[in-house]
Chain A
Amino acid sequence: MVHDLLMAIDRRELEGLIPALRRYARGLAGSASAADDLVQECLLLALDRERQFRGERLKPWVFAILSNVGRSAHRSRRRSPVFAELDVPDAGSDPAMRVTVLAALSALPDEQRQPLLLTAVEGFTYRETAEILGVPIGTVMSRLSRARDALAERLDGAEIVALRRPR
């Protein structure tokens, strides 16, 4: 009789998720270096917790880990210096705009910022987001509404022009 079946994590698939993990982490942490610290911790935790991986979809599983890492990092960190450091500008984005957006995001509590980033930027469905964050889907929806209204308040008055239409 089989008592336990589990799968090892496919390292290449995990590696392929790093760009999206970095994007999510940047929205959570603000600065590039703090974000990459979160991603690194997330990757090491994912490998440490390989035992808990049951062959479900890897992407939501890893994003759940990063969400947790982001939350605990937030708790243990004084929340001032995140935006003191300006990101190196990269082609195709306006660094001033990014700083404004990240600053507005940093004012949101994790419980609002996380579902907002997971749905609006990472493209997870509401259901997937609920599973990633371990909360009921109704909670995700109400937090999203609050996140969006709060963000709208912060961004109003900032001179930001949407560069792209939503997908």
Chain B
Amino acid sequence: MTGPTITDDDLLAYADSRLDPDRRAAIEAWLADHPEDRARVEKWQSQTAILRAALDPVAEEQVPAELVRALRRKPTQWIGPAPAAAAAAVIAFAVGLASGHMLWNLPAERDVVQLASAGIDAHRIYAVEIRHPVEVGADEEQHLVTWLTKRLDTQVKAPDLSAEGLRLLGGRLIPSGDKPAALLMYEGENGERVTLLIERAAPRAMTAFRYAEAGAIGAFYWIDGGAGYALSGPADRVRLLRIANRVYEQLEN
């Protein structure tokens, strides 16, 4: 037989155990007849072993606290689904919105995705209201919270977003799919409006923060602690994330 052409790349992939069985057998046959290449491959393999012996113990060391703190410096903290599943959900959402259908058929996932569209729709409809932005005003905050908690059958709190220059205008009861939801509205000095949709969710459900944008409106949405949230506002992702973090921190307990 004429034999295959064996390149450095093949030898390297062989040494790194990155070949499929057929190719591997071909290289082995080659090495049997070429002692110089065999010596080179063996040297590479022992290099790999040496590098790992030198460096692997680093990964077993206790992680220095300041590195973990570097992550905590930014306030976001959440538990997410497997990234692939989350990415698939985002893609399904994009496909769903683009085609006008929700193709996703896992119920929990559909609920998550529906949060974003409910939040963005509600924001689009109510945030432009000049005279009647809310049903119950912030002057009756206690009544508002008690009423919405009762209707949603989950704890509703109105987070304090004054650190972001937003004051509570009040809230209203809205439909989200077939469920009742609360829509709390906040307003900034310059008239900027941000809404927080809250609805009941399965007690143990949790998702990562996700972001969706439709037109000029953006929303961060997530499920945590028995409720689903969608924070919507002008599509400025950085600002919305900061506000969403404030909401998350305050609703955590």
Contacts and interface: CB of A to CB of B under 8 A. Distances in A.
B237 interface: yes
Contact of A18 (B45, B67, B209, B237): B67
Given A151-B47, A166-B45, A166-B52, A12 B80 contact: yes
B229 interface: no
A72 interface: no
Given A5-B94, A121-B52, A51 B238 contact: yes
Interface string A155-167: 1000010111111
Contact of A26 (B55, B66, B70, B211): B55
Contacts of B46: 162
Interface string A39-50: 110011001001
A48 to B, nearest CB: 9
Interface of A: 1-8, 10-15, 18-20, 22-23, 26-27, 35-36, 39-40, 43-44, 47, 50-51, 55-58, 90-93, 97-98, 101-102, 105, 116-117, 119-121, 125-126, 141-142, 144-145, 148, 151-152, 155, 160, 162-167
A2 B86 CA distance: 17
Given A39-B67, A93-B54, A121-B51, A10 B61 contact: no
B59 A148 contact: no
B76 A11 contact: yes
Contacts of B59: 19-20, 22-23
Contacts of A47: 71, 73-74
A162 B49 contact: yes
Interface of B: 8-9, 12-13, 16-18, 43-61, 63-64, 66-68, 70-71, 73-74, 76-80, 83-84, 86-87, 90, 93-94, 97-98, 208-215, 218, 220, 235, 237-238, 241
B211 A8 contact: yes
Interface of A is mostly: helix
A19 B83 CA distance: 19
B214 A1 contact: yes
A5 B70 contact: no
Given A7-B90, A11-B76, A120 B70 contact: no
